[in-house]
Chain A
Amino acid sequence: MFVHAGLVLLIMVIAFVVAKWAKVTTELSMAIAALAGALYHTKGIPVRHLVEGSFNYFDVCLIFITATFFMNILKESGAVTFMVRSIVSRFFKHRYLCLLLLTIVMLVPGAITGSGAATVFTVGTLVGTVLTCMGISPNRTAAIIFLCAAMSAAAPPINLWAMMAAAGSNMPYVGFTKPLLVLSVVGKLGAAFILGARGKQVDLESALAELPESPVGMNWLKVGLPFIVLFALVVAGRIWPFSMPIVGLPMMFVLASIAAILVSPHKLRIVEIASTTIHSLIPLVGIMVVVGMLIQIMALSGARGLISLGVVTLPLYVLFFALWFILPVSEGLLQYAVAPLLGVPLILLFNMRGMEPVIALSAMATMWPLGDCLPPTAVVGRATVMELKFKGSYTKDFLKTCLVPIALILLMCTLFIVFSNELAFLVG
């Protein structure tokens, strides 16, 4: 069985590499890998398994789609522009406060959707414009935007890596809020202030001229109302759990979106926004659907067990010295697929070794998004340079500037894993 599972794994890897070499997208390459593994294992096409696997992250996909729709509605209504312009107008004399507030603004989209790309697409350009007006170089501006986006994806409540790994380990996605918040906020502020500390006061005139106009009639109440609806629904479910119907996160985002549409100062083209949302999400929703299929075939053929066994029999110190490298690199290669593939056996190992799995998984789930600037996929990194119309070299300028803060965040996360038991007080 060891040889068989190893062969299945090998065939999947070869199929993936060949497909990528033939310029097939990462998502379809994974689907081809799943199909190749299935063909070898079953000597046919296990249609039921492939289709059943596509349901693996169905609810996560729905959360992801509705949350991104919500953020896009806010963007199109002008709420995001209004927020950024207001912050700049009021705090342009206080450089650090301005930087802090912009960092917080950059936390929201990723924290709500679990996607760093969502942060880049909704607020990246706006915040990037202000950072440039603060005298921050283009290299550093791009690096700040990427790192803030990566950390926002790691931030609670929605951390897709943690959710996917927890779901695969039959572990409740409960108790992650504090550790994820600490890691992502420290990481985000650290990156923003390391890279953005030096510069000048915001040039208000040029910043306001560069930023798009916010729509007439927009105000803080209209910006805040959709968030109040969302927050109220979450809180009501906790305070009155037995007298509230079960709304579920996707419908909460839909209701918050409806609130945003109702208070929008101008008419929104909802079908177009929904269509754009789906289009922008296709790589991420696609990868979740395809990874589900891949995982199912791996479970069917024993390949999942082989990886799990390989991971759980590794000495812990090897992992402590290697995870900081393995996790971002594997993210660059496979994106969200790494969470169920590597995360689940790692959680199993941490459990078996008596470590605090929630802290360890939170740390891993903060390390993964950092790999989103690494090739071959580099989804968020590429989105950042595209949105900012970055002129420099991707590797020599952008990536190199990111290295120091990334190394510091990885060190912090590694320490969280090593001292997970000591940090257990953060859970709960």
Chain B
Amino acid sequence: MNNRSLFIVKIVAFTLMLVAIVWAGIEFYNHRNFTETVVLGDGVSTVKKLSDYYPGLKDSVNDCNIYIFEGKEPGGTLMVIGGSHPEEPAANLTAELLVETAEVEVGRLIVAIRANRSASTVTRPGDAYPLYYTIPTPWGEKQYRMGDRWTNPLDAWPDPEVYVHYPSKQMLAYMDIRNFNRTWPGYANGTLTERTNFAFMELVRAENVDVFIDLHEAELEYPVISTIVAHQKGTNVAAMTSMMLNATEFKIGMEYSPKSLHGLSHREVGDHSQAVSYLLETPEPLLDRVRGITDEHLLLTGKDPFVQKAGEYGLLYEKIDDDGWPIDVRVGRHASTVLELAQSWSDLNPDRSIRVSNVPRYAEVIENGIGFYFANPANVPSQRLAYE
């Protein structure tokens, strides 16, 4: 190749590369800076910031909103967090459902929709997740950021050679130092993710939380699925909840939080505070490695013939059929489980009772669709709006 041709190849290749990074860069930038609008339901008394409990997070990407519902009568305190892993959308949607609809009769409710906000500003290379998903509502479509399991590397770089968990010194995979559900109970001098967990622990202690629920979704290839994982302080409540839901609404299991497995909310929140901690899992076929086409349709419908085929070979821990696992079913399961846990807790701890009303349960969410419960931000006064 002569000099002139080589020069042309170089110029063309470099220009195409620049066009590609500007094109993709704009998409990445818009996704990272996209804000979700949350309409505050009548039950929300105050919206605080996570940094109100730990100033070290002030103005950081993880200084998320904390929605507080004061009950009409005193009682216990229930805390629910979504968005620990933003690639599990049923979690943040359930948390938002609570913010828009819940009313508290007795006790208090505290909700975080995007617990690890940074992880919701990035999608995982190699997994081809959609950047956004939309939920149909009676007034139009509501758009959400799809996220990742790990904190955005732009907010926490580099990873250590091996992640040593604080304070147990248990060794974990290097990237899990950015995994919000491997860094509990957090560390004030640590990375952004560890500091975020620390802030949440400060909140749990300051607000005297009784019941702490961390919402998740899981791939069907993963054994911990369709279940409540309970800290040993709360196994009676979890067992009662599981029994009631199995009898009346859907099948759900109950598992003990392993005492030697550190960094997870169901273990550490219970160990390091007065709260009883639970972690809920629903099935999300989008997370399965054997899945077929990766797109928003799979994310929302949970229908996938490849995952179904794996099920036929007995390779899954949860059933899947032609109906898939639609987002309404997954949110409905979480909503009912949260309500049932609150109910069972109140039955067993009447002096720290928590009574939440007006939140749709499993059957209602499936019948109406999750979008039915989201009000149009355009029709709401600005002081009743929050942004995630």
Contacts and interface: CB of A to CB of B under 8 A. Distances in A.
Query: Do the two chains touch directly in the complex (Cβ atoms below 8 Å apart)?
Result: yes
Interface of A: 1-2, 4-5, 41, 47-56, 58-59, 166-174, 234, 237-238, 241-242, 246-252, 292, 295-297, 299-302, 304-306, 308-309, 312-313, 340, 344-345, 348, 352
Contact of B290 (A2, A246, A312): A312
Contacts of B289: 169, 304-305, 308, 344-345, 348
A332 B243 CA distance: 56
A168 B126 contact: yes
Contact of B24 (A52, A170, A242): A52
Given A47-B27, A172-B173, 18 more contacts: A1-B292, A47-B24, A48-B131, A49-B128, A51-B21, A51-B24, A51-B25, A52-B24, A56-B125, A168-B126, A170-B149, A237-B161, A246-B177, A248-B161, A295-B126, A302-B292, A309-B310, A348-B221
A313 B176 contact: no
Interface stretch (B162-170, B228-236, B323-331, B340-348): B162-170
Given A174-B171, A309-B310, A312-B310, A248 B128 contact: no
Nearest to A248: B158
| Top 6 A-B pairs, shortest CB-CB distance | A172-B173, A248-B158, A241-B164, A51-B24, A300-B128, A302-B292
Contacts of A246: 158-160, 177, 191
B172 A305 contact: no
B166 A242 contact: yes
A300 B126 contact: no
A313 B172 contact: no
A299 B27 contact: no
A404 to B, nearest CB: 37
Contacts of A171: 173
Nearest to A294: B126
Contacts of A301: 293
B23 interface: yes
Interface bin, chain B: 35 or more
A296 B128 contact: yes
B164 A299 contact: no
A125 B339 CA distance: 71
Contact of A1 (B162, B167, B172, B306): B306
A48 B166 contact: no
30 contacts: A1-B306, A48-B131, A51-B21, A51-B24, A52-B123, A53-B125, A166-B173, A168-B126, A172-B172, A174-B173, A234-B161, A238-B162, A242-B167, A247-B160, A249-B161, A251-B158, A292-B126, A295-B126, A296-B127, A300-B294, A302-B293, A302-B294, A302-B306, A305-B291, A306-B306, A308-B306, A313-B309, A313-B313, A348-B221, A348-B289
Contacts of B166: 241-242
A299 B126 contact: yes
A169 B173 CA distance: 12
Interface of B: 20-21, 23-25, 27-28, 123, 125-128, 131, 149, 157-162, 164, 166-167, 169, 171-177, 187, 189-191, 221, 289-295, 304-306, 309-310, 313, 315
Given A51-B20, A301-B293, A345-B289, A1 B305 contact: yes
A252 B149 CA distance: 26
A97 to B, nearest CB: 33
A300 to B, nearest CB: 4
Given A297-B128, A299-B126, A352-B315, A305 B290 contact: yes
Given A174-B171, A300-B293, A308-B290, A48 B161 contact: no
Could you tell me the dominant secondary structure of chain A's interface residues?
A: helix
Contacts of B164: 237-238, 241-242
Contact of B306 (A173, A249, A309, A348): A309
B211 to A, nearest CB: 29
A292 B169 CA distance: 33
Contacts of B295: 300
A306 B305 CA distance: 10
A258 B194 CA distance: 31
B167 to A, nearest CB: 8
B388 to A, nearest CB: 22
Contacts of B25: 51
A58 B125 contact: yes
Contacts of B127: 296, 299
A1 to B, nearest CB: 5
Contacts of B162: 174, 237-238
Contacts of A47: 20, 23-24, 27
A334 B169 CA distance: 39
B174 to A, nearest CB: 7
Contacts of A308: 289-290, 306
Nearest to A55: B125
Contacts of A309: 290, 306, 309-310
B128 A305 contact: no
Nearest to B166: A242
Nearest to A298: B128
Nearest to B298: A302
Contacts of A58: 125
A169 B287 CA distance: 11
A29 B301 CA distance: 36
A1 B291 CA distance: 11
Nearest to B165: A241
A2 B305 CA distance: 8
Given A1-B306, A174-B172, A48 B27 contact: yes
A149 to B, nearest CB: 24
A1 B293 contact: yes
Nearest to A243: B189
Nearest to A310: B290
Contacts of A252: 161
A306 B293 CA distance: 10
A118 B171 CA distance: 30
Nearest to A233: B161
A4 B315 CA distance: 23
A234 to B, nearest CB: 6
A49 B304 CA distance: 21
B157 to A, nearest CB: 8
A237 to B, nearest CB: 6
Nearest to B24: A51
Nearest to B317: A352
A316 to B, nearest CB: 13
Contacts of A234: 161
Given A52-B24, A241-B169, A246-B159, A4 B128 contact: no
Find the residue from B123, B126, B305 having the highest chain A CB count within 10 A. Answer: B126
A88 B177 CA distance: 45
B225 to A, nearest CB: 14
Nearest to A250: B158
